[in-house]
Structure 1
Amino acid sequence: MLGIMAYILLSFVPIINAQAQTALLEYMQGRMGVLEDRIAQWHDHSSRYSSELRDFKNQVLKLLENIEKERDSLRNEMENTNIRVDRLEREVDYIETQNPAPPCVDIDEKLTELHNAKKKKNEKYAKLTDCSDTISQVNAMKILKRFGSTSGLWTKDPIENPEKVYVFDGTGNDTVYVYPRMKEFTLFSTTRKAAKIKLPFPWIGTGHVVYGGNLYYIRQGDEFQVIKFNLANKTVVDSAVLQIEEQVPVYGLSTFNYIDIVADEEGLWVIYATKENEKNICLAKLDPSSLGIEQMWDTPCPIENAESAFVVCGSLYVVYNTKLPSRSRIQCVFDVSGTISSENVPIVYFPKRYGSHSSMKYNPREKQIYAWDDGYQIIYKLSMKPREDLY
């Protein structure tokens, strides 16, 4: 039986081998066809890439050629420009030889003003008015309200619109509150009844003054610049950097003030201090029209423990206090005309109040001082007497 089965299998072997060979040939032919298709696709892609590369090369060559042309054109233009500049410089040189440049008149004028101011330093002052009063005492004190920051300034214009109240909140700001009358400022705790004036530059300190329809204030910045600002049309009329070198705080107890502009019967004054005379306060007469310094004085009034100051009839009154606030007092008087001195004037005390004065502005029209004391707005009524009574 086993022999029969072996015979049958051996008879089928040739048949199986023939079928396997046929299948193998068909498989190989199929794979070769796929490979030929892929080779044909690669050839097409290669031809297309070669064509695109040739086109790109031609474009680049064309761009390089155009750039070379533009470079040549720019080089020609530069050469022509250099020729024209050389010609223009020769013409300018010829014109300058025929017409010499004028001298620097503006600089010379400023130097002359500074020289004249130093030359007039500490000379007696020729008074413009017949004002001859001096302060005898503080007759009354009126506390109006508490408004804003602990430091600030409020004042009136003694020349134009004397009823308006101008309020400067803080030692650095750019918005001025304007009340039409004292009544509106006193009755209302908010600023809704006030007109707001936005200044072009922020101020520094509390040394500002409203005089003749203009605001004179110190601009905040690297230099202490005086700005003259017209309150009616809201424009800057003029500005100037005062010819004062190496400034220091003018009041020992109010170190935020480097320049204090004040008004009296004679006009505008500037209270300041310098390193050259760092122990005492200095005074200068300011021209309200040109903002130029007309005359300067070194006063004997010390900076230490000074709180504020103001000018009345050409006399500087310096107010002193202590670091732990007590009663403020006028302890030093300097008269620019030389008619009175501190030895002849008794010490004038202010009533005890809340803290320390950040500003004290004398109003020559009303003979009153508008003071800012630790956020409270106070009016001091002054009692005056002739200077002759001191002797």
Structure 2
Amino acid sequence: MMLLLLLVLSPAWAWIPVEDWESGNVTASLGESGQCVCHVYLPDTMFPADRVEHMQQVTKDLMLEVEIQINKMVSYKGKLEIFLGELKNLTTRVLILESDPDNYIKLDFELLRIELREFEALVSQLRESLNSSSPVFDSLYSEIHNMTLIVNQLETYDKSNLELVRIEFAKLQKKLEECQKEADIINPDIGNCNHTGITGVSRPMVVQLNAHLSSSYTFGGWGKDSKPARGYESMYWYGGYSSPSVYNFYLYSNYDNFILRSAFKDHDLPNGWYGTGNNYIVHGNAIYYQKNSPFSMSKLNLTTSKYDYRVIPQASQKFSYIYSDYQNMDFAADENGLWVMYATEEAKGKLVIAKIDEPSFGIENEWSTNVYKQLASNAFMVCGVMYATRSVDLNTEEIFYSYDTKTGEERHLSIQFEKFQENYVNLDYNPSDQKLYMYNNGYYVSYNVKFKN
């Protein structure tokens, strides 16, 4: 092989010592333009510098992938430990129930069945995550099936006694509801803003898997009416889907029926009124959600089943929260009323807060913030203050930013709270009970909010 070297040799050949060059392999001549041209004959064995560089990059990628997989295994180990602890507790409850079935009512049996279905979904999720089928998982499935059979058998014993207990339970429930109403009257902070902002968030209260009892329904939301009509103070709502498409909602008269998945009404959105995203709410006996075509905010009156929509020209469909696409409009409610948050191209993707005038269903006022929507997990309103969240790690979320619409003051915060699972698509504050409602990877999760008085 012959290389023409002009003045300096290529660095790729610098690894060959000069003393190893044979004089017969180097000749010199004068070029046509008078320049000196060296003819060097080098051996065919070349150092593969490009291959070494490629191997170094592949090694880095493999080390990163291994680290990611190790973190996943640690996360799965923690989930499995929690799961095994809950399964042990459930086994004890079934044994107690088997020894004395007359002291339990239908609700207890149904709750046990729901938990068993949840455990079955968790086992399936772990199997898919670990991409494994082993005797351990098969044994867990068998154990869950056997416990379900026991629960079904126990419920058939002594129906007369169960009916008496059910009547007594209904009386007790009525008394508890009366006590709850009195507690709401005694607590002056509910519905008021006698504080200077959020100082903390409680640990998550995981209610159960969604009403479809499927871990594939990762899109959706749940909660209570933030401004309930008289007689609907105890109502819960739910919407869950396997994609960002929004096409129906379920209503439950109270918490017990919500747990039992016994809806008193369900709304299937008609063609032309489908929505997208997950940041919808129920406020004033109406559901507010993001409509597809035209892109707009939409309203469904739950009493009259009347639909309405309003286009917000500056709202953009290009910007969404980090956990899910198509979450362009985020509806929120607080002690001051109804809000919608979105990003605009004029603001270069930063969140804009808009106050909704409920009677006219129009935009009353707007405030521009300095938080990029695509860097946030979600946002909610409390007493006219917007709070934005972001992910810290697999199990931790953080309220990192706030904007006060009354004063225009922005603050950078660090209020961390625990997640049940990594991804969530709906997070809303409800002023009627001062709780946060989260739809966390298919599970109903809620939090108590702590304020600085």
Matched-pair contact (CA < 8 Å) for 1:354–1:374: yes
RMSD: 2.2
C-alpha distance in 2 between matches for 1:286 and 1:325: 35
CA displacement, residues 326-356 of structure 1 (integer Å, 9 cap, x when unaligned):
411100111111275314xx41111142121
* Distance change in 2, residues 1:177/1:281 (3 Å): same
Task: Compute the displacement of 1:192 (Å).
Answer: 4.5
Give the corresponding residue for 2:356: 286
Q: Please report how far the alpha carbon of residue 132 of structure 1 lies from its aligned counterpart in structure 2 after TM superposition.
A: 4.5
- The alpha-carbon deviation at position 300 of structure 1 amounts to 1.5
Mapped partners of 1:158, 1:272: distance in 2: 20
Q: How many residues get paired?
A: 251
* Alpha carbons 1:154, 1:166 under 8 Å: kept: yes
* Cα displacement (A) at 1:179: 1.1
In structure 2, what is the Cα distance between the partners aligned to 1:320 and 1:194?
36
* 1:137 match: 200
| Of 326-335 and 169-178, the range deviating more from structure 2 | 169-178
For residue 361 of structure 1, report the CA deviation from its aligned partner.
1.2
Change (3 A) 1:212 1:192: closer
CA distance in structure 2 between the aligned counterparts of 1:353 and 1:262, rounded to whole angstroms:
22
Instruction: Tell me, yes or no, if the aligned pair for 2:193 and 2:335 is still in contact at 8 Å.
Output: no
Q: Does the aligned pair in 2 maintain the 1:253–1:304 contact within 8 Å? A: no
The separation in 2 between residues aligned to 1:337 and 1:347, in whole angstroms, is 22
Whichever residue aligns with residue 334 of structure 2, its letter is: D
- Which residue is equivalent to 1:369? 436
2:402 equivalent in structure 1: 333
- Asked if residue 356 in structure 1 is aligned to residue 356 in structure 2, the reply is no
**Corresponding position of 1:179:** 252
TM-superposed deviation, 1:140: 3.6
Task: Name the SS for the 1:342 alignment partner.
Answer: strand
Match in the other structure for 1:152: 220
State yes or no: 1:214 paired with 2:282: no
SS of the equivalent of 2:202 reads strand
CA contact (8 A) 2:332 2:428 kept: yes
Which sits farther off after the overlay, 162-171 or 249-258?
249-258
Structure 1: gaps spanning 5 or more residues: 1-128, 387-391
Aligned position for 1:383? 450
2:343 is matched with: 273
Structure label with greater radius of gyration: 1
1:230 matched to 2:284? The reply is no
Structure 2 residue aligned with 1:347, among 401, 410, 414?
A: 414
Residues 287 and 293 of structure 1 are in contact (CA less than 8 Å); yes or no, is this contact kept in structure 2?
Answer: yes
Residue 250 of structure 1: how far off its partner (Å): 3.5
Identify the match of residue 376 of structure 2 among 301, 306, 326.
306
In 1, distance between residues paired with 2:336 and 2:301? 21
Q: CA deviation at 1:174?
A: 1.7
Give the 3-state SS of the residue equivalent to 1:204 in structure 2: strand
**SS of the residue 2:358 aligns to:** coil
Contact 2:351 2:368 in 1 (8 A): yes
| Structure-1 separation of matches of 2:385 and 2:344 | 20
Superposed counterparts of 1:113-124, under 5 Å: none
The whole-number CA distance in structure 2 between the counterparts of 1:281 and 1:226 is 16
Corresponding residue of 1:28: none
The ranges of structure 1 where at least 4 consecutive aligned residues each deviate by more than 3 angstroms after the TM superposition are 129-133, 191-194
* Identical columns (%): 26
**Structure 1 range deviating more: 251-260 or 264-273:** 251-260
Amino acid at match of 1:208: Y
2:344 maps to amino acid: T
1:308/1:245 CA distance change after superposition, 3 Å: closer
| Corresponding letter in the other structure for 2:202 | N
Alignment of structure 1 residues 6-25 onto 2, 5 Å: none
Kindly indicate whether the alpha-carbon contact (under 8 Å) linking 2:204 and 2:420 is maintained by their aligned counterparts in 1: no
Answer 1 or 2: higher relative contact order, Cα 8 Å, separation at least 6.
1
**Which runs of 5 or more structure 2 residues have no equivalent in the other structure?**
1-191
The 5-angstrom pairing of residues 45-60 of structure 1 reads none
Relative to structure 1, the CA distance from residue 353 to residue 130 in structure 2 (aligned partners, 3 Å threshold; closer, same or farther) is closer
- The C-alpha deviation readout for 1:79-111, integer Å capped at 9, x for no partner, is xxxxxxxxxxxxxxxxxxxxxxxxxxxxxxxxx
Separation of aligned partners in 2, 1:260 and 1:310: 8
For residue 321 of structure 1, report the CA deviation from its aligned partner.
1.1
Q: Which residue of 2 aligns with 1:164?
A: 235
Output the TM-score relative to the length of structure 1: 0.60
Query: Structure 2 length normalisation: TM-score?
Result: 0.52
Q: Deviations over 1:98-138 (max 9, x none)?
A: xxxxxxxxxxxxxxxxxxxxxxxxxxxxxxx8655411101
